[in-house]
Amino acid sequence: MLNLDLSGRPALVCGASQGIGAATARTLADCGATVTLLSRNQQRLEELCTKLPGSGHDFLALDLGSPDDLAEALPRIAEGGYHILVHNSGGPPAGRAIDADPAEFEAGFHQHLIAGQRLAQALVPGMRKAAYGRIVNIISTSVKEPIPGLGVSNTVRGAVAAWAKTLSRELGPDGITVNNVLPGFTQTPRLDGLVAGKADKQNASEGEVRAAMLAQVPIGRFCKPEETAAAIAFLCSPLASYITGINLPVDGGRLGSL
Ligand SMILES: NC(=O)c1ccc[n+]([C@@H]2O[C@H](COP(=O)([O-])OP(=O)(O)OC[C@H]3O[C@@H](n4cnc5c(N)ncnc54)[C@H](OP(=O)(O)O)[C@@H]3O)[C@@H](O)[C@H]2O)c1
């Protein structure tokens, strides 16, 4: 029997108020995990928390881009003794790298790389004790093929991928796996925002922008957040015990590289 059972496993799911993070929280709860939802919007988290299947779920309103807020929350996060960390939040604003203010890079590194490092440092001791740890970073296909017009994102995601690969080699002996999921075009508010921005810039309709994007996807449709969540849940499960240090695209075949 395939073992996707996460009963009794505490899981911290970041960026959980909508999109891929919210779908992941639901899927992990379906698999039996006790989930803590994290993002900035407390009201939304509270609503989602009551709708999760199972019991014992919780939420934490926190801005991962604020080093001070994160430092203050870390003791509570460490106490959670999470066996699973889904490291996820919103993507940096679009724009060309050459046009970005250096402060945009700094903000991106704080929200993605440094927040991940602080969360991992807080949680790895508990994972070691449990002899079970799963860290899954939600980043982007841009770590394999940088995406035009996402200069800061491309740069920061690459750093997160290199960090995760390094961690996977350091933490393997402790039974802790570290993997990255690379979403393709996924039907979430993030995608809606990118489509609207492109339509504006290209003086095209949103329908035309969507059609051009879909033309790049062999499967011929956008991904449902639940489909990305299924891949994440697999990596969090006992089934994926020998998989670490990988980049798993969930992109309908869009990436052209091997
Ligand atoms: N959707 C796609 O097509 C696609 C493609 C490639 C990569 N990705 C990446 O995959 C990740 C998830 O994508 P998504 O489409 O689900 O994004 P989304 O719809 O924008 O949702 C992002 C989530 O992160 C939370 N968040 C944003 N900033 C935060 C912060 N500073 N601190 C804590 N939480 C924060 C948001 O909630 P609050 O507002 O409540 O904080 C929200 O729950 C993003 O990094 C995105 O760039 C997405």
Please check whether residues 122 and 163 belong to one and the same domain. yes
pLDDT at 42: 98
- Between the CA of 188 and the centroid of ligand 1 the distance, in Å, is 9
- Between the CA of 198 and the centroid of ligand 1 the distance, in Å, is 18
Count of domains observed in the chain: 2
Q: Is residue 4 part of a domain?
A: no
CA-nearest residue, atom 7 of ligand 1: 140
Please check whether residues 176 and 93 belong to one and the same domain. yes
Please check whether residues 158 and 209 belong to one and the same domain. no
Structure tokens given for 98: 């050459």
pLDDT at 1: 72
**End-to-end alpha-carbon separation of the chain, Å?**
31
Please check whether residues 177 and 209 belong to one and the same domain. no
Please check whether residues 35 and 108 belong to one and the same domain. yes
Handedness of CA 67, 91, 183, 256 (dihedral sign): negative
CA-nearest residue, atom 22 of ligand 1: 90
Cα–Cα separations (whole angstroms), residue 114 to 22, 66, 93, 178, 219: 22, 10, 18, 16, 35
Assign 116 to helix, strand or coil. helix
Q: Is residue 158 part of a domain?
A: yes
Contacts of 148 (CB under 8 A, 6+ apart): none
Please check whether residues 205 and 170 belong to one and the same domain. no
As for ligand 1, residues whose beta carbon falls within 6 Å of it are: 15-21, 39-41, 44, 63-65, 88-91, 111, 138, 140, 183, 185-186, 188-191
Closest approach atom of ligand 1 to CA 17: 43
Q: Is residue 33 part of a domain?
A: yes
Please check whether residues 42 and 117 belong to one and the same domain. yes
247-250 β-sheet, strand order: 58-61, 34-39, 10-14, 84-87, 133-138, 176-183, 247-250
Please check whether residues 86 and 122 belong to one and the same domain. yes
Structure tokens given for 191: 């995608």
Calculate the CA dihedral of residues 59, 135, 250, 158 and round it to 10 degrees: 110
**Other beta carbons less than 10 A from residue 37's beta carbon:** 28
Confidence (pTM): 0.97
User: What single string gives the DSSP state of each residue in 227-249?
Assistant: HHHHHHHHHHSGGGTT--S-EEE
Hey, what amino acid is at 59? F
Please check whether residues 203 and 154 belong to one and the same domain. no
Q: Is residue 217 part of a domain?
A: yes
Please check whether residues 14 and 110 belong to one and the same domain. yes
**Other beta carbons less than 10 A from residue 131's beta carbon:** 10
Q: Is residue 35 part of a domain?
A: yes
- Between the CA of 39 and the centroid of ligand 1 the distance, in Å, is 9
Q: Is residue 40 part of a domain?
A: yes
**Domain span holding position 52:** 10-184+225-249
Q: Is residue 258 part of a domain?
A: no
Q: Exposed/middle/buried for 55, CB within 10 Å: 0-12, 13-18, 19+?
A: exposed
Please check whether residues 98 and 160 belong to one and the same domain. yes
pLDDT at 2: 80
Please check whether residues 202 and 169 belong to one and the same domain. no
pLDDT at 185: 96
pLDDT (tens, 9 = 90+) of the chain, 258 residues, equals 788 999 999 999 999 999 999 999 999 999 999 999 999 999 999 999 999 999 999 999 999 999 999 999 999 999 999 999 999 999 999 999 999 999 999 999 999 999 999 999 999 999 999 999 999 999 999 999 999 999 999 999 999 999 999 999 999 999 999 999 999 999 999 899 989 988 998 999 999 999 999 999 999 999 999 999 999 999 999 999 999 999 999 999 999 999
